[in-house]
Structures are given as structure tokens and as C-alpha cells.
């Protein structure tokens, strides 16, 4: 049995805690929102973000972060991507030097334009850092629906330790060393899901969504290859797999937010109405700037960026994409 500290008591952190507890691990959850933690402790359920999933007895909600981290073999960070840097730096003083750091945030940090592992490399040895990502809604994982993800690390031994930690008859984990591809696939699919939602909100059909997803994957892959990712990663769980689930499901916050934008709601108001962090709204900013910095053409990302910034409306966005110059599909 290992001690696992989960930093961040949102829906995904809670769902993963239930997987670990089901495997017999000793799980401690800490969150900056003490009132939220107390409600979880009182109800033994995350009524705010993952209602209907009763938490096993070997999950403990603790008010003191140092207590949660003390002696932990694994530390799982489930903070939103834009808060990962602060969460890691704050926790570091209480984390064992040989503990494995697992991150499940999907995004690119605004301003620095860094992926999550690049943020981590500023303060820890990446040989003990693992990304867990893939097509995985918290709502389904919490109900023990079959789910498959990937654990990525530059140190394959660490990825395999995380694989062993999470593997169960309902939660399957593959390993990979392509941390760049896994992180970019997980982050950028949220942008395309916003676009898929906007398309749905405007009343368009499956044809439009299929085109968005396919061409969206093409531009995700272009940026990934430019930054050193392996092309096959984007054809796997953390590429096309995560893209499919995020663009097609009502569990997807990004798609739901996009639907409201497509129906005419102001992007800021739509984000608030979702009620949880919509990572794609932040990642779009960072990806747009990153693509310009490295010279990669990403027309869908650029159009969604201009839409959520209020520079163009959804109707014009569709026209701009449909009226682009003709080109070869593999171009």
C-alpha cells in the first residue's frame, strides 16, 4: 500500500482518488477551499463537483497540506493548469525528494507559454515527473466505467510505477515517453472542443463537427511536430482519443461552453455558467501566441481565439474557415 496525496479536490482529482482507493492505496485529499473539503468530509461525497459518487473509507480529506504530503510516495496534482505552478511551488517544501510527482492538468500556461512539464522542470527533476492523460471524463471514472489513459514521462520507470499504481479491471493505463505529444494533445483538444460546441450551438450537424475535429487534429499535430512530439502520439489515446471524447460529450465543459457561445451568449458569461474551470478558454490564448512564436499555421485555433475575444462573431468565424484558400489535405 502506498500513500498518495491528491492536491486539488475538483471532479477529476476526486475521481482519480476513488480509483486509487479502490486499488487499496491510502489516499489523502487536500484543497485550498477548506469549506469544500469539509463538505466532502461530512458527506463523504464531492457534492459540488462529482455528485452521486460515494467516496471509499480509505480516502481522507485533510485541512493541512503538510499533513497530506507528509511521507507521501506519490503526489497527484489536480489543480487547474493556470494554477499548477503555484500549487507545485507551495507544496514542494513538504514533498519527499524521492516521491513521484503526477500531474493531470491539461493546458498551456499563459504569459510563459510553457507546458506543464516545462513548469515542473523549473523546480524539480523531471525524472520523477509523470503526466496522466487521455479520454477520461471524471463522471464516468467515478462510476467505475471502463476507461483507458496513458502515463507519460521521460523516465519510463516512473511511468510504469504510475501505471502499476492506477491499473485496475476498469482503469487501464498505457505508458509512453513522449511527454511533449501527450501534453499538447491534452491541452489543444480543449480548443477544438470549444469549436465543436460553437458548431453545435449554431445548429450545424455531424459533417461540420467531423471536419472541425479532423482539421483540428491536423493543426495540433503540426504544432506538436514543430515542438518535438512523435506523430504517432496524436493518433493515440492522448491525441485523437481525447479529442473525440471532449468534442462529442456533454460531460465536456469546453463543448458545453462552446454551445452557449454558438447560441449567442457572451464568452465570459458562458464560462461562468459552466460553473467549473473551462481550460480551453485559457489555452486558446496561449496556443495562439505559441503558434505565432514558432511559425505554425493553426487557422481553427486562430478563429476560435478571435471569437472568444469578441473580435468576430461565430457566424463570421464559420465563413472565414470555409472560405480559406483551397489546398491539399496533407498540407
What is the residue-wise DSSP string for 221-232? HHHHHHTT--GG
Domain ranges for the chain: 3-177, 180-322
Q: 3-state DSSP helix/strand/coil percent for the chain, to nearest 5?
A: 55, 15, 30
CATH 1.20.120.430 holds for 180-322:
no
Contact yes or no for 175/151 (Cβ under 8 A): yes
Mean pLDDT of the chain: 95
Average pLDDT over residues 194-202: 93
Residue 304 and residue 79: Cα distance in Å, rounded?
A: 25
Are 282 and 81 in contact, with CB atoms under 8 Å apart?
yes
* 121 Cβ neighbours under 8 A, 6+ residues apart: 129
Residues near 31 by Cβ (< 8 Å), separated by ≥ 6?
Answer: 7, 8, 9, 37
pLDDT confidence bin for 186, thresholds 50/70/90: very high
pLDDT tops 80 at residue 321: no
Q: Is 272 a catalytic residue?
A: no
pLDDT, average across residues 33-54: 96
User: Where is pLDDT greater, at 324 or 39?
Assistant: 39
On the question of pLDDT at 325 being above 70, the answer is: no
- Structure confidence by residue, pLDDT tens digits, 270-310: 999 998 889 989 999 999 999 999 999 999 999 999 998 98
- pLDDT-based confidence at residue 328 (cuts at 50, 70, 90): confident
- Predicted pLDDT at 130: 98
Mean pLDDT of 131-152: 97
What residue ranges in 214-278 does DSSP mark as E strands? none
Q: Which of 3, 106, 114, 189 is catalytic?
A: 189
Tell me: the pLDDT tens digits for 21-33?
999 999 999 999 9
Per-residue pLDDT of 1-21, as tens digits, reads 899 999 999 999 999 999 999
Q: Are 223 and 294 in contact (CB under 8 A)?
A: yes
Read off the C-alpha cell for 213: 475535429
Mean pLDDT over residues 64-81, rounded? 97
Mean pLDDT computed over 178-198: 96
Asked whether residue 323 carries a pLDDT value surpassing 80, the answer given is: no
- Nearest alpha-carbon partner for 106 in 75, 73, 137, 148: 137
Q: Which pLDDT does position 75 carry in this prediction?
A: 98
Closest CA to 290 of 111, 85, 83, 80: 111
> In angstroms, rounded to a whole number, what is the distance separating the alpha carbons of residues 112 and 285?
11
What 169-173 contacts at long range (C-beta under 8 Å, 24+ apart), as own/partner pairs, is: 170/19, 170/144, 170/145, 170/146, 171/19, 171/141, 171/146, 171/147, 172/146, 172/147, 172/148, 173/132, 173/148, 173/149
- Tell me the average pLDDT across 160-166: 98
Its pTM stands at: 0.94
Q: Provide CB contacts within 8 A for 161, sequence distance 6+.
A: 100, 130
d(CA 285, CA 113): 9
Q: What is the mean pLDDT of residues 60-68?
A: 97
Residue 316's pLDDT is what?
A: 86
Least confident of 73-77, 134-138, 174-178, 201-205: 201-205
How do residues 91-119 score in pLDDT, each as one tens digit? 999 999 999 999 999 999 999 999 999 99
CATH code, residues 3-177: 3.40.50.720
- Report whether 304 contacts 191 (CB < 8 A): yes
Residues 6+ apart with CB under 8 A from 227: 180, 184, 294
pLDDT single digits (tens) 225-236: 999 999 999 999
Amino acid at each position: 500500500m502506498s500513500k498518495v496525496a491528491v492536491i486539488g479536490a475538483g471532479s477529476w482529482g476526486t475521481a482519480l482518488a476513488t480509483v486509487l482507493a479502490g486499488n487499496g492505496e491510502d489516499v489523502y485529499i487536500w484543497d485550498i477551499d477548506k469549506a469544500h473539503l469539509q463538505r466532502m468530509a461530512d458527506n463523504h461525497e464531492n457534492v459540488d463537483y462529482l455528485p452521486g459518487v460515494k467516496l471509499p473509507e480509505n480516502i481522507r480529506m485533510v485541512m493541512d497540506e503538510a499533513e497530506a504530503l507528509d511521507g507521501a510516495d506519490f503526489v497527484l496534482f489536480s489543480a487547474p493548469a493556470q494554477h499548477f505552478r503555484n500549487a507545485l511551488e507551495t507544496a514542494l517544501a513538504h514533498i519527499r525528494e524521492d516521491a513521484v510527482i503526477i500531474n493531470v492538468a491539461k493546458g498551456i500556461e499563459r504569459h510563459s507559454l510553457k507546458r506543464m512539464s516545462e513548469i515542473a522542470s523549473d523546480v524539480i527533476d523531471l525524472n520523477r515527473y509523470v503526466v496522466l492523460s487521455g479520454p477520461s471524463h471524471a463522471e464516468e471514472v467515478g462510476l467505475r466505467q471502463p476507461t483507458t489513459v496513458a502515463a507519460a514521462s521521460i523516465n519510463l520507470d516512473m511511468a510504469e510505477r504510475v501505471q502499476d499504481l492506477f491499473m485496475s479491471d476498469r482503469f487501464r493505463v498505457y505508458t509512453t515517453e513522449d511527454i511533449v505529444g501527450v501534453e499538447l494533445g491534452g491541452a489543444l483538444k480543449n480548443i477544438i472542443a470549444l469549436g465543436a460546441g460553437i458548431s453545435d450551438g449554431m445548429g450545424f450537424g455531424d459533417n461540420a463537427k467531423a471536419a472541425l475535429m479532423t482539421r483540428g487534429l491536423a493543426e495540433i499535430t503540426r504544432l506538436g511536430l514543430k515542438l518535438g512530439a512523435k506523430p504517432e502520439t496524436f493518433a493515440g489515446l492522448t491525441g485523437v482519443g481525447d479529442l473525440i471524447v471532449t468534442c462529442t460529450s456533454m460531460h465536456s465543459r469546453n463543448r458545453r461552453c462552446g454551445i452557449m457561445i454558438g447560441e449567442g451568449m457572451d464568452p465570459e458569461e458562458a464560462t461562468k455558467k459552466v460553473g467549473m474551470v473551462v481550460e480551453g478558454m485559457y489555452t486558446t490564448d496561449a496556443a495562439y501566441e505559441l503558434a505565432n512564436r514558432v511559425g505554425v499555421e493553426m487557422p481553427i485555433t486562430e478563429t476560435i481565439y478571435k471569437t472568444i475575444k469578441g473580435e468576430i462573431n461565430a457566424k463570421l468565424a464559420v465563413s472565414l474557415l470555409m472560405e480559406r484558400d483551397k489546398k491539399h489535405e496533407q498540407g
